[in-house]
Structure 1
Amino acid sequence: MTEWTILGAGALGCVMAGLLRQRGERVALMLSERHRSHFHPSLDMITLGGRHQLIQTQPRFAEQARQAECLLVFTKAYQVVDALTGLQQLPTTAPIVLLHNGLGAAEQVQELFPHNPLIAGVSSHGAMKEGDWLVRHTGKGETWLGPLNEAAHAWAHLVKPLSAALGHAEWSEDIRLHQHRKLSINAVINPLTACHNIRNGQLLEPRYADVLEQLSEEVFQVMANLGETESQDAFRRRLQQVIELTATNYSSMHQDLVHGRKTENDYITGYILAHAGTQPVPVSSQLYREIKRRGG
């Protein structure tokens, strides 16, 4: 049985740790220095049914990276490179699975760890942090893994235990498709909810109809230029479905902005701007600048 080492003890990382432990999987949490003197040995996870469950995991620190068998990275996109830089003792046999929002960090990770199997992951599970070592599982979703380099192809079997723990996990040789489809949703919901200080579901109110339509059009066209084959109607239906399913949730970018944290603006809306080419993207540009102005 592979031990899963989770880097990034935020809401989703902790929920994933909890779901894996519930299935009897071995899980270690790779912690930062600030946790060394006050790490709580038990993680309290509130399940989808509202029950509290205490989750026991093995605490690890950077100098113990050589013990990692499989590394799941749940940090923010802008933290990925710095967090991994401290893990140079990671065995070259250990796969690195990137499960952060946005795109743009994988190329740097490949330079840092050229010999490790590098896997991209996309998950639509919902999670919320409610306190120190208290997290809530807010929604079940799909999880996809796929190879980012040749060495990763040998690790498709990871999806079997993940599927048992998460309810769904599949391997895709075209993981970029799933990354683009998740990013296209995030590039609409996250900046709008962050800038307007609203829950996801409020985007369906009439007052946001015009800006939602304009931003959706911009994001769809950029993704189409990148090779996305999904029709515009299909994209709109998927966007509406996600908004409805997460109606009571606050987006991660909203929460980061509200709590004065750096956002993933550069890896979500910034990715749209970087790949727009000659296509006008005025709404994306305005939202990007506004989030930057507010410190995100």
Structure 2
Amino acid sequence: MIPNNRGTAMTEWTILGAGALGCVMAGLLRGRGEPVSLLLSERHRGHLHPSLDLITLAGRHQLVHTRPLFAEQAGQIRRLLVLTKAYQVVPALQALRGLPNETPIILLHNGLGVAEQVLALYPQNPLIVGVSSHGAMKEGPWLVRHTGRGETWLGPANPAANAHAGLADALAGALGQIRWSPDIARLQHRKLAINAVINPLTACHRIRNGQLLEPRFNAVLAQLSEEVHQVMAALGEQEPLEDFRRRLHKVIELTATNYSSMHQDLAHGRPTEIDYITGYVLKHAGHLPVPVCRQLYNEVKKLGG
């Protein structure tokens, strides 16, 4: 572990969401000597709080020690990183009744539509939203693997968040490439567009991302990417369709051996984030025809998502 040589007390990061990405983030922050607490659910109360076992990108096992925290201790939270699934964000935050008004809330989840609900719940708190391409996989209870170091972008969801742009620099030491963007909505739309193609297709066909480049998917990829692109264009996205398709193919190639999060959720009988990905596209489609999006949405729902 890299020691803290700053000579001053460091502000603790509190992580809400002890899934794969939350545990990896905890490990990366602790690896830089940052203090980290992990908000635990009621089912962990009364149990011994174990160390996390993080498998690094180099394949080494690293024991990660965090401070356990429960909802009634929300008054102690100074920086809150929310790394739950999209549908878990609001119920989890509702339990934090004592959260100080000045505590910045950072949302890092797939899909869109949650930030508006959080703003209604905590109108005074600085709200920061972001996108991240870090890869993480849970291999067992308190055993996680860091599968890929990506880039992370943060930006303001309300005016109060602008005073906390420095949090991007504070996280950069642990997470690597991380930047602040005043135009975070554009980056969120671009990530959502990729997810709205890859996730439902791989989930419905039970395949790895790279299999989408097989000839049998050529026609559906072409139509689905056009549907998603036209909805994003209606929301103000200016990226040409062919540029979007090139970016999509690059992501598929870079993640060829991966299973999408939606595929994994269906495979393990968990709810998916379909309402915040494809559902967001459908909600904003208006009169635009999006039959493939609608068909995939219905199929994922039928499969249990």
Fold match (TM-score > 0.5): yes
Answering whether residue 212 of structure 2 is matched by residue 203 of structure 1, we say yes
Matches within 5 A, 1:168-187: 168-187=177-196
SS of structure 2 residue aligned to 1:104: coil
Answering whether residue 53 of structure 2 is matched by residue 44 of structure 1, we say yes
Query: Could you tell me how far apart the structure 2 residues matched to 1:270 and 1:286 are?
Result: 11
Query: Could you tell me how far apart the structure 2 residues matched to 1:45 and 1:221 are?
Result: 41
**Identical counterparts, % of pairs:** 73
Instruction: After TM superposition, give the deviation of residue 236 of structure 1 in Å.
Output: 1.2
The residue number in structure 2 matching 1:138 is 147
Matches within 5 A, 1:139-178: 139-178=148-187
1:280 maps to which of 269, 289, 299:
289
SS of structure 2 residue aligned to 1:191: helix
Matches within 5 A, 1:97-136: 97-136=106-145
Instruction: After TM superposition, give the deviation of residue 2 of structure 1 in Å.
Output: 2.1
Instruction: After TM superposition, give the deviation of residue 49 of structure 1 in Å.
Output: 1.2
1:248 maps to which of 239, 257, 266:
257
The residue number in structure 1 matching 2:13 is 4
Query: Could you tell me how far apart the structure 2 residues matched to 1:213 and 1:13 are?
Result: 34
Contact 2:126–2:161, Cα closer than 8 Å, also in 1: yes
Query: Could you tell me how far apart the structure 1 residues matched to 2:288 and 2:67 are?
Result: 49
Which amino acid letter does the alignment assign opposite residue 159 of structure 2? E
Instruction: After TM superposition, give the deviation of residue 39 of structure 1 in Å.
Output: 4.6
Instruction: After TM superposition, give the deviation of residue 161 of structure 1 in Å.
Output: 2.0
Contact 1:40–1:133, Cα closer than 8 Å, also in 2: no
Query: Once the two structures are superposed, what CA deviation does each residue of 1:200-245 show, in whole Å capped at 9, x if it has no partner?
Result: 1111111111111111111111101110111212211111111111
Contact 1:81–1:109, Cα closer than 8 Å, also in 2: yes
Which amino acid letter does the alignment assign opposite residue 232 of structure 1? L
Query: Could you tell me how far apart the structure 1 residues matched to 2:219 and 2:33 are?
Result: 48
Q: How many residues align?
A: 296
Matches within 5 A, 1:18-57: 18-57=27-66
Which segments of 5 or more consecutive residues in structure 2 lack a partner in the other structure?
A: 1-9
Query: Could you tell me how far apart the structure 2 residues matched to 1:6 and 1:39 are?
Result: 18
The ranges of structure 1 where at least 4 consecutive aligned residues each deviate by more than 4 angstroms after the TM superposition are none
RMSD over aligned Cα, in angstroms?
A: 0.9
Contact 2:155–2:184, Cα closer than 8 Å, also in 1: yes
Contact 1:162–1:168, Cα closer than 8 Å, also in 2: no
Answering whether residue 70 of structure 2 is matched by residue 61 of structure 1, we say yes
Instruction: After TM superposition, give the deviation of residue 254 of structure 1 in Å.
Output: 0.5
Change (3 A) 1:237 1:132: same
Instruction: After TM superposition, give the deviation of residue 83 of structure 1 in Å.
Output: 0.4
